[in-house]
Structure 1
Amino acid sequence: MTEVATSAMSDQLLVIIDPVARRTDGESVRIAKDVLSAGAATKVCLPDGPEEFARALQRRGSRRPVVIGDDRALVRAVSLLHRRRELAGSVLAVVPVGTSLGLASALGVPTSAVSAARAVLEGAERRLDLLVDDSDGVVLGALRIPPVPLGRAGAAVARAPWLRTCQSLVRTLVPVRPARVASAPAPGPARLRVEVDGSTLVDLGQPVEGVSVTPGGSGAAEVEVRPLSVGAAAAPLRAQGRTVTVSGTDFRYHSDAGVSGPVRTRTWRVREGAWGLMLPGGITPPAR
């Protein structure tokens, strides 16, 4: 890991440049670093991987951390500070560089390197809600459970063609009528129980096409369940609450820049104003 100290006018910044950003768009990294160095006293860190990234963040001292990287780098920084129980006392800033920038944009961070760097120097701290699950994982933006479950159905479909192939071979060798094999069921909609603050929003008997949970910005999560439509479109089921539990058949969920699972149950709790992010002055994060 390379560290370069630069004297400038005000503030103390620890600029951590994610290696993926350096490989993906070196020009944007250079522009962001130049703008930050011109407006503040910066210490630039060039970690070669996640372990060095974590050490740099841990040794930041009184410097304000600035991450130059994509959504995964931002999530990594928030996760590390959360696990060290240092998130509440920290204010993060990010200059989005890379190919996955949807989360940063949804949070209100400019995706231009120059504009984002200026927001680091001239913007204002905004306290944002966070979803924390029962395995101590964090979700900054929306999480979604896809409509098609992953599990036994796909394997059953694969087994059925294999059996049919074997039957065809037997018919060519032995003139007997093979036993009829029942066709395997195709993958279908998820069957999940969704509970919000202890009240059941949907139960296992109602197939669903998808579930989304989003920090609402007011200490409560916004939950939407889309029931399976039969004939006329079914209206989404919506609720708000501080605790959301999803259980049922094995499911995966998409959150921020990754996919987690499979799990059979997971509980998320809202931490109101759990983390601070530098955003352009006077701008609040857009509704997600």
Structure 2
Amino acid sequence: MSAADPSGAQLLVVVDPVARRVDGESTRIARDVLCAGAVARIALPGGPEEVARAVARRGRRRIVVIGDDRALLRVVALLHRRRELTETPLAWVPVGALPTVSVARTLGVPLGAVAAARAVLDGEQHRLGLLADEDDGVVLGGLWAPATAAATAAHRHAPARTPAEAAVRTAARTALTLLTGPSSGRHTVPGAGLRLRVEADGEVLADLDRPLGRVSVSAGPDGAAEVVVHAPAASPEPLRVRARTVTLSGPDFRYRADNRVRGPVRTRTWTALPEAWRLTLPRG
């Protein structure tokens, strides 16, 4: 779902300190473009507490995050915990090394500072789904277990959005394959021995008595979670279901969510929340 952005002229630009350190030039360019096209208040927080204070004082301004995946996730999680996420418009200018902004690829946010900043000014709001766990953690792109499982060729064969992205992709293909997120392809992890109980809306899809290759979960376009359970060796088709809630449980395990390794945990439940947040994306 998309809509015009009535609050586009009033911005709170939260500039992540990591972005200022690792790519000051892109950060400066993004700020200049945003300030030239809108009334912008610039926040330069030094840490999470200052981010929270800036967000709390935003008034009616639309929040724009300049930074990597973690910077965006920090603001989304904060608003989710405050139960303010649904009605708070957000925008994002990804800044960071390519593997650290992989969520931008999933969401459709431009990777270049100028293109992303212009999309903030000229784009339209879309309501997007996400996955929320029992500890108020959020997942925007997707998750998979075990954390070391490689993503599949789905990302490798996805068309590049720009010529610059196509050039960078060749050099960074290995890192992106490992870090961009869960896949819906047929590839499995040969020889893996993951033992997890996988439940979708209370139905047991896999149990501890049978090893798995990989489990991936992502928020589908209609708000349901898309669950894919792979066998430990190549097989014709993985098991695919759609569900409102998904639970993984078993011996201590780690999982990768939005390019971050989480855990170890023994159980975790995610609930798919449709249209849970609003992000400005390029038109068309």
- The answer for the alignment partner of 1:210 in structure 2 is 214
**CA–CA distance in 2 between the matches of 1:148 and 1:276?**
31
How far has the Cα of 1:135 moved from its partner?
1.4
Q: Aligned ranges for residues 175-186 of structure 1 at < 5 Å?
A: none
**CA–CA distance in 2 between the matches of 1:43 and 1:226?**
47
2:117 match: secondary structure: helix
Deviation string for 1:68-91 (max 9, x for gaps)?
A: 000000000100000011001111
1:79 match: secondary structure: helix
Partner amino acid, structure 1, of 2:117: A
1:118 match: secondary structure: helix
1:117 match: secondary structure: helix
Q: Point out where structure 1 has 5 or more consecutive residues left out of the alignment.
A: 1-9, 150-186, 283-288
- The more displaced of 255-264 and 22-31 is 255-264
Partner amino acid, structure 2, of 1:94: W
Contact 1:147–1:208 under 8 Å retained in 2: no
Q: Compute the TM-score of the two structures, normalised by the length of structure 1.
A: 0.78
Q: Does 1:195 align with 2:185?
A: no
**CA–CA distance in 1 between the matches of 2:241 and 2:14?**
39
Name the count of aligned residue pairs: 234
- The answer for the alignment partner of 1:182 in structure 2 is none
**1:67 maps to which of 65, 68, 74:** 65
Q: Aligned ranges for residues 1-288 of structure 1 at < 5 Å?
A: 11-99=9-97, 100-146=100-146, 189-229=193-233, 233=235, 235-282=237-284
**CA–CA distance in 2 between the matches of 1:190 and 1:147?**
11
Q: Compute the TM-score of the two structures, normalised by the length of structure 2.
A: 0.79
**CA–CA distance in 2 between the matches of 1:148 and 1:66?**
32
How far has the Cα of 1:235 moved from its partner?
3.1
Partner amino acid, structure 2, of 1:16: V
**CA–CA distance in 2 between the matches of 1:123 and 1:131?**
24
**CA–CA distance in 1 between the matches of 2:81 and 2:275?**
16
Structure showing greater Rg = 1
**CA–CA distance in 2 between the matches of 1:98 and 1:113?**
10
How far has the Cα of 1:204 moved from its partner?
1.5
CA RMSD of aligned residues (A): 1.7
Runs of 4 or more, structure 1, over 6 Å off, are none
Q: Point out where structure 2 has 5 or more consecutive residues left out of the alignment.
A: 1-7, 150-190
Contact 1:131–1:270 under 8 Å retained in 2: yes
Change (3 A) 1:109 1:269: same
**CA–CA distance in 1 between the matches of 2:84 and 2:148?**
37
